[in-house]
């Protein structure tokens, strides 16, 4: 029999992923959403082959286009924005005009999915909500994203990822006990995780539609999505107490914490089973602890005072060893351990590149950029990157002409009436300065372009 | 007004009567009772072992109606014994109870018993999805890996969850290393972004673990999402495939930010404590009776916040968002303290009320510039449960189980008008459905 790892390598063959079929080919998504929560849900569908048309206001564009870390732009674009909105068609229409609504209604006729994350009630008030769209296309799957949901007394409260973290209680958990040192989850995780829940519920609705022919309305509140990730509520209902903050210690296993090594690095180490606990003890030369009544039983071992005792022993052991030594011992003794990695390491780790979870992408407009690959690799219909984010209104012509069958005159008249538009001079909205848009065949789709 | 009424008044906002009608109708429509279930025709085998990412992936399928059979050895999955501070209900830990939704429980010893493997093999021919978390190659060596199962059942979707995945040299080298939440967090880059600034002393300036199972929940969610895409493809073509989740990708692939920053900056970001890299103010502040979260990052939101806090005299120094981003830490910390000096004068409810009143007037006034400063009371999980919003939306569900007694779980995480997820039962004794499974799927 062929060796398992080379069998798996051939099965996934990350280098040939782009030649494999796409699971969502032929699915059309209208993406009215902005910032991160909604756009991420739409992006995931695009990664698997759906045709996602992102709508933005002319000259303003998505609020998140110019929002970059420490104000540092990369080729006049926002480096983190590329990963949030890649593979989409960028259409810029002025929603305030009646003519734009006609355009949207026409697109809705053939669309399968609509995603929006305006403040609840706004899409309805602008007449692009589920009530209107489902009249045009009853098979539509309509996802409304918000912080508190579309009904309930707090539905009109505005929100961001931070507010969902505050409302669910997640924010209060990351930090040290008995201090006021606690922190929000970094990098807008409170948008990204709910965004993935949004993609999941759309996939479920698509699966259901294939079976029954029925579309549906989906109301996703990001606070509720975060609540799905916590067992703190269950703990509270059983004990009446709270788990609270536990610093760098995971209170569900022992030992389990982040430790400092002799070479000033940080390493996470945990034992999930009794077996692993035993092999850690023998690696440390502390087998005698197994005879101690406090540590023979899993539940007994987890009691705060016993757990602290064990974590302290492990900390003492680790501080005299280098990070590489600890990892080497863990591989042999078979218990979980991992170095705390930062941005630079993630970007440059060889195995992530080989796996396809970090990708060096060559883009026609921006050149080379390292972006993250998918969290789950599919052997048959893998997700892939086709292009990065594009300037505001970049795909106006291709969408109107190819997808909506509009004539040159109709497009000209829409441009003249300012129904459709493009970017102004702000970074994040415009193309890189070295890039000549006039020579771009996609942006000028249907026009003569001389290079 | 009574204090309770007063509080309710702050945390309730009314729209137009048309929108109010719509919301009322929506609450009715979103009631899951009697609705169809998306995956009611799918059988899913969850053979995950000592790994909650697999259990969570299985739970999400079970909530959407799939028949999920949790397979564990007769002594129970070690996941049953992972629980905060050792708190358990009759031998079952809190996280396992929370994720024990809508599942069947069957005992099979896949690690050691050949006969049990044969039963699993038989079951898998009827299954749509298999979930496993053994070291890569183990199931294959036992004759029940994707290679063998897919031969007899080509439409099978096979989920494998491990630290480094099923292929690459790294996966081979680390194949015997088991998975844990904290290593998944650390190895995928979350703790590196959390914690205090460098000069605040140890251990506060260390990388910090998220106070939840971020690694495992992200991995489980990613597995279910990937597999549902695969199931959609199976629905269209009849073809199955393998879904490979590496938990060391969890955070970095979810947010995607570390890879791109590492590339464009050529170095790692430092830890900046309670501040945010892009937005300011965007974080939490002390107030008279606890903490509030404040988000007023756009320039007009910030101006509004200054007016509310009577800090208008500092406006000149901090006018643009580029003045407020913390690329110069001392400067940003200074502003943070200026705001804190004001917030501690009020209670959380007062601050929330002040911000709401301002926003309401601002929406209708051309003089106030449309700023929407958001201020909200900071909840702990325990206080969040009492919020009326979640009662109305039935976010928390209480269960009375014969064996486990009374407890609450968070459920109904998304509302869908036709085929919503739901939790029907939570019982989870070891081997409780052995006979049921044998009668339904194994006897011919």
HSE of B244, CA atoms in CB hemisphere, 13 A: 31
* Residues pairing with A216 in the sheet: A141
CA–CA distance, A165 with A170 (Å, rounded to integer): 5
| Same domain for A400 and A330 | no
**B225–A304 CB contact, under 8 Å:** no
**B168, B286, B381 member nearest A355 (Cβ):** B168
- The answer to whether A139 contacts chain B (CB < 8 Å) is no
**Residues A98 and A207 both lie in one domain:** yes
Tell whether A198 and A85 lie within a shared domain. Answer: yes
A378 found inside a domain = yes
- The residue among B404, B409, B423 whose CA lies nearest residue B68 is B423
SS3 state at A1: coil
| Contact (CB<8Å) B186/A189 | no
Phi/psi of residue B354, nearest 5 degrees: -60, -45
CB contact under 8 A, B186 and A340: yes
Domain membership flag for residue A301: yes
CATH topology identical between B43-258+397-442 and B282-384? no
**Residue A87 in domain:** yes
What token pair was written down for B191?
A: 């703790």
Residues A202 and A114 in one domain: yes
Q: Is residue A362 part of a domain?
A: no
CA angle A151, A116, A401 (to 5 degrees): 150
Same-domain pairing of A149 and A283: no
Q: On the CB side of A166, how many CA atoms lie within 13 Å of its CA?
A: 23
Helix (H) or strand (E) holding B330: helix B329-343
Measure A290 CA to nearest chain B CA, in Å: 18
Q: Which fold has domain B43-258+397-442?
A: Rossmann fold (3.40.50)
Of the candidates B380, B377, B374, B379, the one whose C-alpha atom is nearest the C-alpha of residue B294 is B374
A284 and A223 share one domain: no
CATH (one of 3.30.420.40, 3.50.50.60, 3.40.50.300, 3.30.1540.10) for B282-384: 3.30.1540.10
Range of the domain at A114: 9-228+371-439
| A291 and A401 within one domain | no
Angle, CA B246 vertex, CA B243 and CA B250 arms, to 5°: 110
Domain count, chain A: 2
> Minimal Cα–Cα distance from A298 to chain B, Å?
7
Q: Residue window 103-132, chain B: list those with CB within 8 Å of chain A.
A: none
Q: Give A376-388 as a DSSP string.
A: EEESSS-------
Cβ neighbours, 10 Å, residue A445: 17
Complex confidence, ipTM: 0.97
Among the candidates A286, A318, A339, a domain finishes at: A339
**Is A349 among the domain residues?**
no
Q: Do A79 and B12 count as a contact with CB atoms less than 8 A apart?
A: no
Which residues does B71 contact at the CB level (< 8 Å), separation at least 6?
Answer: B45, B46, B47, B106, B107, B108, B110, B120
pTM, to two decimals: 0.96
Are A59 and A184 found together in one domain?
yes
3-state helix, strand, coil in chain B (%, to 5): 45, 15, 40
Q: Which of A339, A360, A389 is the last residue before a domain boundary?
A: A339
Q: Is there a domain that residue A384 lies in?
A: yes
Q: Which two tokens stand for residue B7?
A: 């509080």
Residues 368 to 407 of B: which have CB under 8 A from any A CB?
A: 372, 374, 376-385, 387-390, 392-393, 395-396, 398, 405-407
Q: Which residues of B touch A67 (CB under 8 A)?
A: 278-279
Contact B137, A5 (CB under 8 A): yes
A365 belongs to a structural domain: no
Which of A298, A324, A339 delimits the end of a domain? A339
The CATH number for A308's domain is 3.30.1540.10
For B66, nearest residue in chain A (alpha carbons): A204
For chain B, give every domain's residue range.
43-258+397-442, 282-384
Q: Does residue A270 share a domain with residue A219? A: no
B197: contact with A, CB 8 A cutoff? no
Residues A397 and A328 both lie in one domain: no
Per-residue pLDDT of chain A (451 residues; tens, 9 = 90+): 899 999 999 999 988 989 999 999 999 999 999 999 999 999 999 999 999 999 999 999 999 998 888 889 999 999 999 999 999 999 999 988 888 999 999 999 999 999 999 988 889 888 999 999 999 999 999 999 999 999 999 988 888 999 999 999 999 999 999 898 999 999 999 999 999 999 999 999 999 999 999 999 999 999 999 999 999 999 999 999 999 999 999 999 999 999 999 999 999 999 999 999 999 999 999 999 988 889 988 899 999 999 999 999 999 999 999 999 999 999 999 999 999 999 999 999 999 999 999 999 999 999 999 999 998 999 999 999 999 999 999 999 999 998 899 999 999 999 999 999 999 888 899 999 999 999 999 999 888 877 6
- Nearest CA among A339, A333, A340 for reference residue A273: A333
């Amino acid at each position: 029999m062929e060796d398992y790892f080379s069998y798996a390598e051939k099965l996934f063959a990350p280098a040939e992923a782009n030649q494999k079929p796409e699971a969502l080919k032929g699915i059309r998504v209208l993406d009215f959403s902005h910032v991160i929560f909604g756009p991420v849900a739409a992006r995931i569908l695009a990664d698997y082959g759906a045709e996602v048309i992102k709508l933005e206001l002319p000259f303003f564009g998505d609020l998140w286009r110019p929002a970059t870390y420490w104000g540092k732009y990369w080729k006049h674009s926002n480096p983190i924005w590329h990963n949030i909105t890649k593979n989409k068609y960028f259409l810029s229409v002025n929603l305030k005009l009646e003519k734009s609504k006609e355009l949207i209604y026409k697109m809705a006729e053939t669309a399968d999915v609509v995603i929006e994350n305006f403040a609840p009630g706004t899409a309805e008030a602008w007449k692009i909500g589920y009530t209107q769209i489902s009249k045009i296309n009853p098979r539509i799957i309509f996802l409304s994203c918000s912080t508190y949901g579309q009904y309930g007394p707090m539905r009109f409260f505005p929100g961001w990822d931070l507010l969902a973290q505050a409302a669910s209680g997640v924010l209060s958990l990351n930090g040290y006990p008995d201090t006021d040192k606690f922190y929000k989850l970094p990098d807008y995780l409170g948008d990204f995780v709910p965004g993935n829940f949004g993609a999941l519920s759309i996939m479920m609705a698509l699966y259901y539609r294939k079976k029954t022919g029925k579309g549906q309305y989906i109301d996703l509140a990001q606070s509720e999505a975060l609540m799905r990730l916590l067992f703190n509520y269950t703990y509270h209902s059983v004990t009446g107490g709270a788990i609270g903050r536990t610093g760098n210690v995971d209170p569900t296993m022992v030992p389990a914490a982040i430790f400092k090594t002799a070479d000033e690095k940080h390493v996470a180490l945990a034992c999930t089973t009794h077996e692993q606990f035993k092999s850690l003890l023998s690696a440390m030369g502390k087998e005698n602890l197994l005879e101690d009544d406090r540590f023979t039983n899993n539940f007994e071992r987890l009691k705060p005072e016993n757990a602290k005792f064990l974590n302290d022993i492990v900390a003492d052991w680790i501080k005299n060893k280098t990070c590489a030594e600890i990892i080497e011992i863990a591989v042999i003794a078979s218990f979980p351990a991992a170095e705390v990695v930062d941005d630079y390491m993630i970007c440059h780790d060889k195995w992530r590149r080989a796996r396809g979870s970090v990708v060096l992408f060559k883009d026609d407009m921006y050149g080379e950029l390292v972006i993250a690959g998918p969290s789950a690799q599919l052997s048959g219909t893998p997700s892939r990157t086709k292009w990065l984010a594009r300037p505001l209104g970049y795909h106006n012509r291709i969408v109107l002409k190819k997808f909506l069958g509009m004539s040159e005159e109709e497009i000209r008249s829409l441009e003249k009436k300012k129904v459709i538009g493009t970017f102004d001079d702000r970074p994040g909205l415009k193309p890189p300065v070295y890039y000549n848009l006039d020579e771009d065949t996609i942006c000028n789709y249907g026009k003569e372009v001389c290079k | 007004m009574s204090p309770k009424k007063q509080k309710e008044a702050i945390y309730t906002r009314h729209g137009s009567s048309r929108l109010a009608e719509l919301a009322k109708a929506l609450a009715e429509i979103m009631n899951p009772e009697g609705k169809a279930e998306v995956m009611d025709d799918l059988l899913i085998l969850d053979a995950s072992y000592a790994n909650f990412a697999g259990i969570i992936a299985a739970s999400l399928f079970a909530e959407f109606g799939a028949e999920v059979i949790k397979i564990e050895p007769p002594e129970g999955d070690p996941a049953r014994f992972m629980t905060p501070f050792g708190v358990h209900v009759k031998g079952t830990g809190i996280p396992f109870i929370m994720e024990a939704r809508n599942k069947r429980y069957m005992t099979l010893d896949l690690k050691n018993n050949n006969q049990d493997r044969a039963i699993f093999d038989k079951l898998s021919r009827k299954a749509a999805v298999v979930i496993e978390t053994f070291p890569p190659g183990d199931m294959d060596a036992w004759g029940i890996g994707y290679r063998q199962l897919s031969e007899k059942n080509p439409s099978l979707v096979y989920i494998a969850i491990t630290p480094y995945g099923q292929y690459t040299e790294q996966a081979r080298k680390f194949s015997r290393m088991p998975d844990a939440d904290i290593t998944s967090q650390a190895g995928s880059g979350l703790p590196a972004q959390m914690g205090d600034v460098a000069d605040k002393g140890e251990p506060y300036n260390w990388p910090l673990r998220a106070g939840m199972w971020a690694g495992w929940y992200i991995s489980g969610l990613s597995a279910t999402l990937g597999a549902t895409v695969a199931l959609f493809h199976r629905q269209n073509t009849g073809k199955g495939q393998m879904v490979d989740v590496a938990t060391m990708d969890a955070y970095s692939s979810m947010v995607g930010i570390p890879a791109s920053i590492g590339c464009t900056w050529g170095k790692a970001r430092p830890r900046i404590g309670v501040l945010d890299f892009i937005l300011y103010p965007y974080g939490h502040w002390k107030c008279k009776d606890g903490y509030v979260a404040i988000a007023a990052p756009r320039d007009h939101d910030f101006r509004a916040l200054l007016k509310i806090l009577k800090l208008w005299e500092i406006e000149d120094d901090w006018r643009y968002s580029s003045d407020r981003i913390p690329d110069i830490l001392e400067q940003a910390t200074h502003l943070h303290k200026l705001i804190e000096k004001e917030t501690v004068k009020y209670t959380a409810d007062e601050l929330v009320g002040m911000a709401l009143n301002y926003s309401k007037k601002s929406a209708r006034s051309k003089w106030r510039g449309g700023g929407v400063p958001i201020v909200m009371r900071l909840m702990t999980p325990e206080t969040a449960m009492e919020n009326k919003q979640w009662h109305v939306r039935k976010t928390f569900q209480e269960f009375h189980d014969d064996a486990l007694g009374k407890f609450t779980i968070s459920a109904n995480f998304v509302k869908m008008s036709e085929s919503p997820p739901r939790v029907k039962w939570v019982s989870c004794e070891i081997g409780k459905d052995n006979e049921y499974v044998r009668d339904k799927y194994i006897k011919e």
